[in-house]
Amino acid sequence: MVASLRSLLDRVIDYAGLFPPAQLDMSRSVAEYLRQTQGPDAWFVGRFVCPSTRLDELQDTLASSPGAPEIPIAVAGGASENLDGWYQVLEHDANVMNEFVQAVGEKAAIEAYEVRIPENRYIGACIGDLKSFQEVDVFVELPWGQGLDDSLAAIAETEWLCAKARTGGATPGAVPSAGDLAGFLHGAVGLDLSFKLTAGLHHPLPRVDRDTGAKMHGFLNVLSACGFALAEDMSRNEIQELLTSASVEDWRFEPDRIRWRDASLTLEDIEDSRELFWSIGSCSVEEPLNDLDALGLITGGR
């Protein structure tokens, strides 16, 4: 794999094997994570994603795995439909996270907390409620739709919160349009706001999902779009065009740069963009790598 592509993909996958469609049990998911992070593909993998409601299971699994290296954890918070539910989620999550940290010792470290706000109109109140989680990286998942731009701006003003967006799911409606995703990327880059994406980004380039019929986004597209938006000051429409680019012939990956049509990213541009675009939540590590291999983008082994 050429240096530019490897830099773009460095530690990009937060492993979410507990979640659909993989939906592995806890012991198998932890075993898979340890296998990946101790093998030749370790450079590709970041944190282990665990729901707050299953931290007790993770604690038990780690207790039965003596000698395993410390696992970096991203805790996925509970879901809430309104502010009353939001407060209950935060109280529950804070308690179980504290209990987990005290119990596991050096077997795992909670590095991030990810939680979805009920509605964008509640962003101000929700930001205030998250201050007690500042010891870890906090990603605020935003609902698609009205108020998202205002929520991005409010998160950016804190200078410590990060944003999160969901790019897939079990139904066609769970996949945002290319226009909506372009708007999120354009807004985050313009605000110098760190973010992550989750769900649906299993393949390098856009394709139709055979189960839902939805047009899934490509992880090469979204990662590159962040880089080009930052380095080339791409407009929202230009980002949208890049997001829909489904032919590998549009791309050239060279040792010192990535080219998409007539635009190019240097290694420095790529590193700068990855300081904003932290990671992608994915239930598979092998699937995206196998797809890259099928496109001829992995040469000489991984």
Do residues 191 and 156 lie in contact, with contact meaning Cβ atoms separated by under 8 Å?
yes
Quote the pLDDT of residue 170: 81
Q: What is d(CA 1, CA 295) in angstroms, rounded to the nearest whole number? A: 12
Domain assignments of the chain as residue spans, ordered by start: 11-204+276-292
Report in angstroms the alpha-carbon separations of 23 from 10, 39, 62, 263.
24, 22, 19, 39
pLDDT tens readout for residues 110-144: 999 999 999 999 999 999 999 999 999 999 999 99
Query: Quick check: pTM over 0.85?
Result: yes
Angle between helices 236-243 and 178-190 (to 10 degrees): 130
Quote the pLDDT of residue 169: 87
Token readout for 120 is 């964008």
Quote the pLDDT of residue 302: 38
Quote the pLDDT of residue 98: 97
Quote the pLDDT of residue 108: 97
pLDDT tens readout for residues 223-270: 999 999 999 999 999 999 999 999 999 999 999 999 999 999 999 999
CATH topology assigned to domain 11-204+276-292: TIM Barrel (3.20.20)
Quote the pLDDT of residue 301: 43
In DSSP terms, 39 is beta-bridged to none
Q: What is the mean pLDDT of residues 179-200?
A: 98
Quote the pLDDT of residue 66: 81
DSSP state of 210: T
**Lowest mean pLDDT segment, chosen from 23-32, 150-159, 291-300:** 291-300
Assess whether pLDDT exceeds 80 at residue 60. yes
Q: What is d(CA 188, CA 191) in angstroms, rounded to the nearest whole number? A: 5
HEC sequence for 148-174: HHHHHHHHHHHCCCEEEEECCCCCHHH
Residue 9's closest CA among 227, 200, 233? 227
Q: What is d(CA 141, CA 198) in angstroms, rounded to the nearest whole number? A: 10
Quote the pLDDT of residue 138: 98
Quote the pLDDT of residue 299: 75
Quote the pLDDT of residue 65: 84
- Rounded-to-10 torsion of CA 150, 154, 159, 161: -90
Q: What is the mean pLDDT of residues 87-109?
A: 97
90 exposure class (CB count in 10 Å sphere: 0-12, 13-18, 19+): buried
